[in-house]
Amino acid sequence: MVRTADLLEALIAECRAMSSSSLPPAAVESAKHSILDWVGVTLRGAREPAPKILAAEASAMGSARAATLIGSCDRTSVLWATLVNGTAGHALDYDDTNLLMPGHPTAPILPALLAQAEASHISGRAVIDALVAGVEFESRLGQALAPEHYEAGWHATATLGTFGAAAASAHLMDLAAPQWTAALGIAASQSSGLQAMFGTMCKPYQVGKAAMEGLESARLASRGFSGPSDLRELLRGYEMTYNANARTAPVVAGPSAEHPRLAIEQTLFKYHAACYFTHSSIEAMVHLKSTNGLQPEVIDSIGVLVSPTALSICRYPRPETGLQCKFSLPAMVAMAALGRDTASADAYTDSLVADPQLVSLMGRVSVAADPQLASACARVVVSLKGGSTLEATRDAGAPAHSLETQKRRVQAKFESLASPLVGNAGALATVKMIDRLEEQSSIELLPILAG
């Protein structure tokens, strides 16, 4: 085994060398799926209160007009655009996830890359390469710090995402190895984010800040701003602060026998607009309802078994707001049992949690932890009033077997989010552009940036 510092040194060399000419085609295709998915959730997420407040603050600051605010085509400075777009991309909690971190890999990286690439006239191929490198970096670092880092209450998407954004930005800007080290040191000084913020505006704000601070770290490093030059000391301090029980890293640089594919190829996409740790429970309940013609009035009670991790994150047994509903297993299972649309970003309103039918069914849902279940797995047991039971187990933690199937599902999700905002023609133009993004000489050609 190697210490995390040694892993980080190897990761820098590996990620710096990543390019489309040598990347597996599946990694490039997966990156484009992540980009399309993020653009869709960001277009819709830009309508949420948190990014609107930040956009107003950016305007009040009189920032430069170098990069686009997605969803409005207003422009602001590169760093403010990264913050606003990064917050919008995570505002719905509908963006992609990766259990290697564990967290949301694209949300803290892509807004930084798009803002910097737009302002500096950088190609689509360079953005893809940098995204793959950044996701690999944050995911591999996450493996090295897991599970203590997440279990201690840190929000890995924000903490590790700051490093991912710094690495991806350093790649995009073609920084030398010493500048990568400096950028990561600067990022370490800013990395933060708490799970205690889940269910509030601060959760997506933390992710926007991670994107902005990662990009800022790389930009400062490019100008000669210094950070720790000794990676061993940098990571020793980071482990001691962020991991109560610092330990040897469980992985080494490069794909392993356990994880033979690059991290971006193991990205998982959300098809329900709620916390990913509710998805298996939703899918199990949907299966029981559809295969048994299950109606809510015949349900006596519903038992839900999930991993301890899922139970700690989905911590609202009786949500009081639509945002908290996304982190409530009883609410999400009850929605599925009632046939409510869990994929609609517009479904999660404050009035939803006051709906008498939903409240009644939530009261019949009990949730418990089962340490034997995988982190994203769930078992749902429905007890009927006649005395019989129905049971289903689902695991949303497995990457898609078919990239073509995944592409179709991501595109359908994108169109459902984007078409009401930019029209069918605008949505289709964006799909086609991202599908051949590696051919674009400038990221500015994307319809979402061109206005």
Query: pLDDT tens for residues 188-217?
Result: 989 988 888 888 899 999 999 999 999 999
Q: Which CATH architecture has domain 276-395?
A: 2-Layer Sandwich (3.30)
Sorted by sequence, the CB contacts under 8 Å of residue 7 that are 6+ apart come out as: 140, 141, 144, 249, 251, 252, 253
Structure confidence at residue 242 as a pLDDT band (50, 70, 90): low
The pLDDT, as a whole number, for residue 249 is: 47
pTM: 0.88
Best CA proximity match to 210, nearest among 133, 117, 108:
108
* Span(s) in the chain for CATH 1.10.4100.10: 4-269+402-450
Best CA proximity match to 305, nearest among 353, 361, 373, 237:
373
The pLDDT, as a whole number, for residue 103 is: 92
Best CA proximity match to 161, nearest among 98, 210, 217, 218:
210
Model pLDDT for residues 361-387, shown as the tens digit of each residue: 999 999 999 999 998 899 999 999 989
CATH number, span 4-269+402-450: 1.10.4100.10
- Taking phi first (over 0 means left), then psi (-120 to 50 degrees means alpha), and beta for anything else, what does residue 75 get? beta
The pLDDT, as a whole number, for residue 254 is: 55
- Average the pLDDT over 140-153 and give the result: 81
- Average the pLDDT over 25-46 and give the result: 96
In angstroms, the Cα distances linking 202 to 49, 66, 197 are 11, 26, 6
Structure confidence at residue 407 as a pLDDT band (50, 70, 90): very high
CA angle 7, 310, 84 (to 5 degrees): 70
The pLDDT, as a whole number, for residue 233 is: 65
The pLDDT, as a whole number, for residue 383 is: 96
Structure confidence at residue 252 as a pLDDT band (50, 70, 90): very low
CA distance 234 to 226: 13
For 390-444, the DSSP string reads EEEEEETTSPPS-HHHHHHHHHHHHHHHHHHHHHHHHHHHHHHHHHTGGG-S-GG
Q: Peptide bond preceding 102: is omega within 30 degrees of 0, i.e. cis?
A: yes
* Span(s) in the chain for CATH 3.30.1330.120: 276-395
Backbone angles phi, psi at 81, to 5 degrees: -60, -40
The pLDDT, as a whole number, for residue 346 is: 87
